[in-house]
């Protein structure tokens, strides 16, 4: 049975006054705010304006009943968030609402600290703001899965093992298994088993992160394919 995930919970209720759905929505927004910030930047806004608009956008999601427009039986949070942000920016432009930006009562504690540096470090590209949004969304999901896996290994006293094997997940230059075995005091066969288990746990973590953003189990595989396609 597909567990009730944050997005399926939010989409089913679509009630910003419900503290349960409000907390679920806020958690999703905190986890995936950067693609929205990057999208706003690519729509022509500078760093400070993008911060204000991103805060105002999420404040509106938390305060208004915009979620009532979401498909309550099918839909991906990624697609909903992009469509809602596009609509929000059009309204902001049409009504000249700059003075009202960031005025919501429920501002999220978004970590804007290095957002500008992160944005400016991205390689130059001719991709559309929408394609860049999907790419950043995919990178965010991968980073979340890795972070949760790192925490899982650290909590069980296997932090050193994770650090030694993490390149087998991230596409880096892998150290030969025989060399890893020497570093870790393990046999080469044991290292191969550890890598297999790490990759399986990574896959599980990634699918769980994706499941949080889709409406049902039938959408997970499609979202996996779409997100890896977004990474090129």
pLDDT digits (tens, 9 = 90+) for 166-219: 988 876 657 899 999 999 999 999 999 999 999 999 999 999 999 989 888 888
If one compares 109 and 182, the residue with the highest pLDDT of the two is 182
- For the ranges 65-69, 113-117, 121-125, 201-205, the maximum mean pLDDT occurs at 201-205
If one compares 186 and 21, the residue with the highest pLDDT of the two is 186
Residue 67 falls within a domain, yes or no?
yes
Q: What is the pTM for the complete model shown? A: 0.83
Position 14 pLDDT exceeds 80: no
Here the tokens at position 57 are 């956008």
Banded model confidence at residue 103, pLDDT cuts 50, 70, 90: very low
Q: Which domain holds residue 56?
A: 6-94+125-230
If one compares 1 and 133, the residue with the highest pLDDT of the two is 133
Residue 119 falls within a domain, yes or no?
no
Residue 110 falls within a domain, yes or no?
no
Instruction: Specify burial of residue 39 (Cβ count, 10 A radius: 0-12, 13-18, 19+).
Output: buried
If one compares 164 and 25, the residue with the highest pLDDT of the two is 164
Position 102 pLDDT exceeds 80: no
Q: Are 50 and 41 in contact (CB under 8 A)?
A: yes
| Predicted local distance difference test score (pLDDT) of residue 20 | 81
- How many structural domains are present in the chain? 1
Residue 41 falls within a domain, yes or no?
yes
| Predicted local distance difference test score (pLDDT) of residue 123 | 81
Q: Which of 103-107, 146-150, 171-175 has the lowest mean pLDDT?
A: 103-107
Q: Are 91 and 73 in contact (CB under 8 A)?
A: no
Residue 152 falls within a domain, yes or no?
yes
What would the mean pLDDT of 161-168 be, rounded to a whole number? 93
Beta pairing partners, 76 = 214
Percent with pLDDT over 70 in the chain: 83
Mean pLDDT of the chain: 85
How far apart are the C-alpha atoms of 205 and 94, rounded to whole Å? 42
Residue 72 falls within a domain, yes or no?
yes
What would the mean pLDDT of 9-36 be, rounded to a whole number? 81
Residue 156 falls within a domain, yes or no?
yes
| Closest residue by Cα to residue 9 from 205, 210, 214, 207 | 214
Residue 120 falls within a domain, yes or no?
no
């Amino acid at each position: 049975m597909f567990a009730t995930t944050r997005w399926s919970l939010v989409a089913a209720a679509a009630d910003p006054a419900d503290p349960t759905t409000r907390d679920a929505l806020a958690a999703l927004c905190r986890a995936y705010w950067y693609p929205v910030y990057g999208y706003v930047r690519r729509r022509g806004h500078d760093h400070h304006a993008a911060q204000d608009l991103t805060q105002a956008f999420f404040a509106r999601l938390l305060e208004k009943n915009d979620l009532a427009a979401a498909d309550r039986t099918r839909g991906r949070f990624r697609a909903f968030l992009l469509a809602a942000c596009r609509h929000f920016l059009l309204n902001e432009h049409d009504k000249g609402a700059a003075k009202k930006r960031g005025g919501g009562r429920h501002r999220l504690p978004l970590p804007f600290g290095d957002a500008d540096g992160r944005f400016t470090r991205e390689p130059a590209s001719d991709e559309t703001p929408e394609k860049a949004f999907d790419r950043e969304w995919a990178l965010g999901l991968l980073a979340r899965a890795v972070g949760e896996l790192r925490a899982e290994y650290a909590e069980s006293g296997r932090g050193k093992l994770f650090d030694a094997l993490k390149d087998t997940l991230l596409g880096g230059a892998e150290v030969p298994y025989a060399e890893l075995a020497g570093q870790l005091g393990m046999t080469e066969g044991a290292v191969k088993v550890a890598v297999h288990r790490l990759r399986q746990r990574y896959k599980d973590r990634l699918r769980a992160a994706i499941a949080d953003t889709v409406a049902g189990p039938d959408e997970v595989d499609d979202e996996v394919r779409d997100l890896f396609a977004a990474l090129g």
